[in-house]
Amino acid sequence: MIPGPFLLYLGHSDDEVGIKTSRGLAIFRPDDCVGEWRHDDCPLTLGLPRMGVAEARAAGAKTLVLGIANAGGTLGEALVRDALDAVAAGMNVASGLHHRLRDEPRLVRAAEQAGVALFDVRDPPAHLPVGNGRPRAGNRLLTVGTDCSVGKMYATLALHDALNRRGVAADFRATGQTGILIAGAGVPLDAVVADFISGAIEQLTPARSDTGWDLIEGQGSLFHPSFAGVSTGLLHGAQPKALVLCHDPSRPHMRGLPHFQLPDLADCLAANLSVARLTSPDVQAVGIALNTVKLDEASARRLCADTGAALGLPCTDPFRFGADPIVDRMLQCFAPSSQPISASA
């Protein structure tokens, strides 16, 4: 486990979506975050005290979390220098970037000298199996999306919270660096070797014999030309009984790709159900999760109502308004009495 409390890095970021790992920790583990480190050119804030490494160390921070994301996940020179400063101040460094901290000799040397640790959250487990698609027992829900970074993790954590409040056993299964930092476990799916995508998810969500749920954080989108392979393997490995489609209505185009429009919601849901049926023939959609952060409350509620009516499914912003409408549908569709648990694989 990565030692808290954390100093959350924003650096020079000027893209809200790019700081999603730092923001996720600030929101879902607030008690473990002492401050945010941003440079003068960074217009963003998490609402935490702004501090550098010395103040953070004095405030008790044990680990700098490089909670920023960029396409490709590279570790630039500015980032390395800031990480070296944190190490020199006696802090561990954790990163979810593809480019590993341990592949940067200056950091490795400095960390050794300072007696601190480097954590590469995106290291996949060793010895992953190839997926086998064999039917396995248990309730699994997967969040899928019209695009990357549209709120799949938030929706999954909100469902987890709503189920727990009703006394239904539920486990959050993290598949990305932010989720893994929040949950303390999971598999960084986009860093797994391509042949093992579905196998990694089968291992992460083994058969369960109770009436509880594995709630699996989705990744990417079948309609994102950079990452649809990850989304496809995730759908097959998850073998989901239930899908929730996540969408950000303010997104002007596919993330990072101005030349790609977002898919129609009904088309996107149909494509996800079609791919999921290969390993889970009876899969059902149980709701739509909208990320309405950029809408006022009345507009957000109206959009949820309209979207739900158009698609014939419960629709909510689960982080803003709670996940209960979707949980109601889940528990109705998969009531324990009407749900034979097949023999485990």
Q: Measured from the CB of residue 190, what is the shortest distance to a copy of itself in angstroms?
A: 4
Q: Count residues near a copy of itself (CB under 8 A).
A: 44
The crossing angle, in degrees rounded to 10, of helices 197-204 and 228-238 is 40
Q: Are 22 and 65 in contact (CB under 8 A)?
A: yes
Which CB sits closer to a copy of itself, 82 or 190? Answer: 190
> Which of 131, 138, 179, 249 is close enough to bind a copy of itself by CB under 8 A?
131
Using the minimum distance from each CB to a copy of itself, give the nearer residue, 159 or 230.
230
From CA 330, how far away is CA 304, in angstroms rounded? 18
Residue whose C-alpha is closest to residue 114's, from 80, 91, 81:
91
> Least distance (Å) from a copy of itself to the CB of residue 124?
9
Nearest partner of 67 among 126, 2, 114, judged by Cα: 2
Q: Which value, in Å, is the radius of gyration of the alpha carbons in the chain?
A: 20
Q: Indicate whether 229 belongs to the interface with a copy of itself (CB under 8 A).
A: yes
Give start and end residues of each alpha helix (H) in 252-323: 265-276, 297-311, 318-321
Q: Give the nearer residue to a copy of itself in terms of CB position, either 36 or 104.
A: 104
153/230 with CB nearer a copy of itself? 230
Both tokens assigned to 6: 């954390």
Among 156, 227, 283, 323, binds a copy of itself (CB under 8 A): 227
Considering only residues 144 to 203 of the shown chain, the ones binding a copy of itself according to CB under 8 A are 189-195, 197-199
Task: Give me the 89-128 binding string for a copy of itself, x by CB under 8 A, dash otherwise.
Answer: ---------x------------------------------
Task: Decide: 53 and 91 in contact? Cβ < 8 Å.
Answer: yes
> Do the Cβ atoms of 175 and 218 come closer than 8 Å?
yes
The footprint of a copy of itself (CB under 8 A) covers: 71-73, 98, 129-135, 189-195, 197-199, 222-223, 225-234, 236-237, 256-257, 259-260, 271, 274-275, 278-279
